[in-house]
Amino acid sequence: MKVDVLIDHEMHYWKSDLIDDIFLSFEASAIKEIPLSIVDTPDWLFWPKNRTGPYSIKSRKLLQVGTCPTCNLEPETITHALWLCPKLVSVWLPQFAKLKKATSPLSTFNDLLHLAFQDPSCIEARSLVHEFNHLRPVHAKIPRTARLVRWKPPPLGVVKVNFDGAIFSTQSSAGLAMVVRDQAGLVLASLSQKIPLSTSVEIVEVIAARRALLLARELGFERVMVEGDSEIIIKAIKEKALPSSDLGHILEDIRVLSRSFNSISFHHIKRMGNCVAHHLAHRSFCNPLLVWMEEVPPDIVDVYNHDLGFIHE
């Protein structure tokens, strides 16, 4: 059976009933969590252990301990490099001869420190450490005032769409949210949507960005600013090359959708400037899909008014 059979290409959805009939429940859930493209992009291979997609030795997470370059005899562990390497004999002997005999080649660095503080020959070294700690200047912590990040309205004739995603691990689901506002900060539309839990936060965020463009297109807006608090996703959207990763087909959807607008730009903003979308995303676990025209839900009004207050300062 080909994967193609499991997809409703007209609606761009998985055929859930068919998948549930064929696969075990945990397999079916894993399949339905994979987001589908809405523009039928071609398939490609990618390495899931690397965020950008290409395979690399580093992404295999293999721990490789090299041989000590000084003696070429033993693996270069911390204990070997600082204590056990034969080339260090002239450094530690004769003053620490007793400690040398007390530490076996298998001693960890913590074991070495423990024995050192019990060895009388280390008294002078300990006193020097204490003296250093006593005399070094203690710098007072200087309070830092974080730069206040605020939502800012778009230019005249442009709408701004803020988007965000949320993860609900205990419910095996995620949430998408977006809010469309004009140059006066007035809400034109807002949306929250519950979706199956995806494999990463980044995938949820990029799906939210795609949904934001779909909403703006459905409402007929032609000049759009898109803003989100995931710097990784905003950067990926702006890159011209299509990354061969698990985000690639969604990013391609976004590029195709972007051609629907006369002008479009993508911007990163910190969480404090994206509060309305953030709160909308976290309330989406209750309902599959909710849309509000020219308003936000009552429980988000205070957050929205907080943004609105900065505009009129």
Rounded distance between C-alpha atoms, residue 28 and residue 41, angstroms: 23
**Whether the predicted pLDDT of 255 surpasses 70:** yes
pLDDT at res. 120: 63
- Among residues of the chain, what percentage have pLDDT more than 90? 38
pLDDT at res. 172: 83
Answer yes or no: pTM beyond 0.75.
no
DSSP bridge partners of 291 = 191
Residue 29 parent element (H or E): helix 25-32
pLDDT in tens, 208-237: 999 999 999 999 999 999 999 999 999 999
Least confident piece of the model among 90-99, 124-133, 168-177, 211-220? 124-133
Average pLDDT over residues 271-278: 94
pLDDT at res. 47: 64
**Token pair for 308:** 């609105």
pLDDT at res. 63: 45
pLDDT in tens, 283-302: 988 888 999 999 999 999 99
**Whether the predicted pLDDT of 132 surpasses 70:** no
Rounded distance between C-alpha atoms, residue 45 and residue 31, angstroms: 17
Q: Under CATH, what is the fold of the domain 159-311?
A: Nucleotidyltransferase; domain 5 (3.30.420)
Least confident piece of the model among 113-117, 180-184, 188-192? 113-117
Highest mean pLDDT among 62-66, 93-97, 254-258: 254-258
**Token pair for 106:** 């298998």
| Domain edges within the chain | 1-32, 78-132, 159-311
**Token pair for 254:** 């976004």
Beta strands in the chain (DSSP E): 7-8, 13-14, 159-168, 173-181, 187-196, 223-228, 263-268, 289-293
Rounded distance between C-alpha atoms, residue 93 and residue 157, angstroms: 78
Mean pLDDT of the chain: 81
* Contact between residue 151 and residue 310 where contact means Cβ atoms under 8 Å apart: yes
**Whether the predicted pLDDT of 126 surpasses 90:** no
